[in-house]
Amino acid sequence: MKIKVLIVDDSPFIHKAITRALSDDIYEICGIAKNGKEGVELYSQLKPDVVTMDITMPVMDGLDSSKQILALDPKARIIMLSAMGDETLMEQAKSIGVKLFLQKPFKSEELVLTVRKIYLEG
């Protein structure tokens, strides 16, 4: 069974980087959302195992999108990916239920390990 990953990020460059990092057969990029609102909609439709979530996006940012996804599914596994990595922001993300945080630029191996960790921990 494949681990279904939903990418929520407005940057095609990041879509490529994540897709490249998760090119192993055990992962399936089941959807790509270009803003937080699309992310909520695609989460409902696709029921992914893991979500990678950017913070700064048009229409709806990653924090609000995560809140809405977690309201729909409190067990949602969300990895926040952001260029910003200061403690205040990480605490804010954790306080709404985001489980893991990865600062950009991330190495492919880091992303793979983080996706695997969040998936296994449930």
- The binding site for other proteins (CB under 8 A) comprises 11-14, 16, 20, 56, 58, 82-88, 103-105, 107
- Whether 96 contacts 105, CB under 8 Å: no
CB of residue 76 to other proteins, shortest distance in Å: 24
CB of residue 83 to other proteins, shortest distance in Å: 3
Q: What is the C-alpha separation between 52 and 21, in angstroms, rounded? A: 12
**98-110 as b/e: b if 16+ CB within 10 A:** bbbbbeeebeeee
Task: Please say which residue, 16 or 94, places its beta carbon nearer to other proteins.
Answer: 16
- Whether 43 contacts 65, CB under 8 Å: no
CB of residue 11 to other proteins, shortest distance in Å: 5
CB of residue 2 to other proteins, shortest distance in Å: 24
Task: Please say which residue, 33 or 76, places its beta carbon nearer to other proteins.
Answer: 33
Phi then psi for 77, rounded to 5 degrees? -100, 110
